[in-house]
Amino acid sequence: MNNTHLWRALGRNTIISIILFGALLGLLWVAELIFPSVTLLKWHDPAWVVGIPASVIGVAYILTVRDPQNYTGFYAGIIMSILLGVQFILQGGYDSAFLFFLVFIPFQLMSIYKWSRKKDDGGASFEPKFLDTPRLFLSLALLVFITFGDYIIATFALYHDSLTDNVLVKILSGLLISSSFLANYWLIYRKTDSWLYWVIYSLAGIGLFIIIRNPFSIVLFTFFLVINGMACVAWIKATKPENLYWAASFFKK
**Where are the domains positioned within the chain?**
1-123, 127-253
* Region label for 190, one of left (φ > 0), alpha (ψ between -120 and 50) or beta (otherwise): left
Distance CA 70, CA 117 (A): 11
Residue spans of the chain under pLDDT 50: none
Does the CA dihedral 246-238-11-189 come out positive or negative? positive
pLDDT value at residue 91: 85
Beta-bridge mates of residue 129:
191
pLDDT in tens, 160-195: 888 888 899 999 999 999 999 999 999 999 999 999
pLDDT value at residue 97: 86
pLDDT value at residue 189: 93
- Please tell me the total number of residues recorded for the chain in this structure: 253
pTM here is 0.90
Does the CA dihedral 90-96-102-104 come out positive or negative? negative
